[in-house]
Amino acid sequence: MEKKIVPFDQETHRELSDAEKYAERERLFGTDDLYPMWVADMEFQAAPAIQEALESRVAHGVYGYAMPDLALRETAANWYLKRHQLICDAQKFRASPSIMTTMSAAIEALSQEGEGVVTFIPIYPPFMEVVSEQNRTLHTVALLDDGNEFIIDFTALEEALSESKILLLCNPHNPVGRVWRVDELKKIADLCERYEVVIISDDAHADLVMPGITYHSVTTVSTYAKDHTVTLFGPGKGFNISGLASTLWFSFSDELLKKVDKVFKARHIVAGQIMGYHALKAAYNESEAWLKEALVYINNNLEYAVKRLNALDYFKVYKPEGTYLIWIDCKALKLSDRKLKAFFVEGAKLGLSQGRFFGRTGQGYMRMNCAVPFEKLKMAIDNIEYALKS
């Protein structure tokens, strides 16, 4: 039986908990006197079953080397089948300490220095960093704002893919919140097939999809995509356990598995850690009810934030289809990036992610994390409204 749901209104007081978003305030924003909403983790306690699994393992007292066992792989496969209707042999699942570790390993395994890697922008900044750090050629395709949502420029995508070996896909997309539809994924897959491009799909937010929206794995839209995709995912985002260094990846292709496995072995990359394994199992096996409650709470927060910000006239925000992040168009303020940061830090006392770090199209945008207690979200938007009036 699943445990009682943690109240999401509860303030978690993370200032002294080694939380990155709090510890880095002085360095990034020049002050500790602000509410940080820039890192993509929730201000909610993890599900009770996860906390109890960790407490039980800590009580054992021995924390030696551990490996992901068959039960962990089966847990992952069963979750994807139950939650996303995707059937994949448990033996094809792997564990990793982080999404970006796997992405980096896959880029190294599936391309050579100088070869092209494509991604859509704006995008989570490490996507671009990991490409440049490995001396691959980065090709960025700007998502287009059609007045209702962000869409893919397939003409630009085809041109970029024609010069590349890999596409880095993000689904749901961070930061614009799109959950790519089947028709969009099919067009992506068909273009990748035309130019023999491998897909590395970051689906870390796949469990954070809003009501009325359905996540589809790109592997389901064509035979080529199924055989030429490495999928990265895990419980970190959906269950707020990213700090436990336990993510997952899989591929239907034995060839791709062998190539990426070889890089993991060559780099001596450990496949996560013991506490993460226990948290993962407790998340997927015992905490779905918690996730459902969290999604209701997050969806309400998103609706509130989008409505209020759009009503202020100076901002334009689309409600995310997935993730708990909102991508705020602040260009109507007519501020430079430096002054825009100051508006939020000094005027609203908020620490948000600056859009300029998400690629050239991110200038004039800010990213805000809405997975916070409602009263904190209300305070944040009250502060923004006050800063506008001031």
DSSP symbols for 48-117: HHHHHHHHHHHHH---------HHHHHHHHHHHHHHH-----GGGEEEES-HHHHHHHHHHHH--TT-EE
Residue 126 CA to residue 245 CA, distance in Å, equals: 17
Of the candidates 248, 219, 298, the residue with the CA atom closest to the CA atom of residue 79:
248
In 210-259, DSSP assigns E strands to 229-233, 247-250
Q: Which amino acid is at 77?
A: A
Residue 350 CA to residue 309 CA, distance in Å, equals: 15
Q: Read off the pTM.
A: 0.96
Backbone angles phi, psi at 372, to 5 degrees: -135, 160
Nearest-5° angle of CA 103, CA 251, CA 81? 115
Instruction: Give the pLDDT of residue 1.
Output: 43
Q: Residue 152: left if φ>0, alpha if ψ -120 to 50, beta else—which one?
A: beta
Give pLDDT tens digits along the chain (390 positions). Answer: 455 555 899 988 898 889 999 999 999 999 999 999 999 999 999 999 999 999 999 999 999 999 899 999 999 999 999 999 999 999 999 999 999 999 999 999 999 999 999 999 999 999 999 999 999 999 999 999 999 999 999 999 999 999 999 999 999 999 999 999 999 999 999 999 999 999 999 999 999 999 999 999 999 999 999 999 999 999 999 999 999 999 999 999 999 999 999 999 999 999 989 999 999 999 999 999 999 999 999 999 999 999 999 999 999 999 999 999 999 999 999 999 999 999 999 999 999 999 999 999 999 999 999 999 999 999 999 999 999 998
**SS3 at position 156:** helix
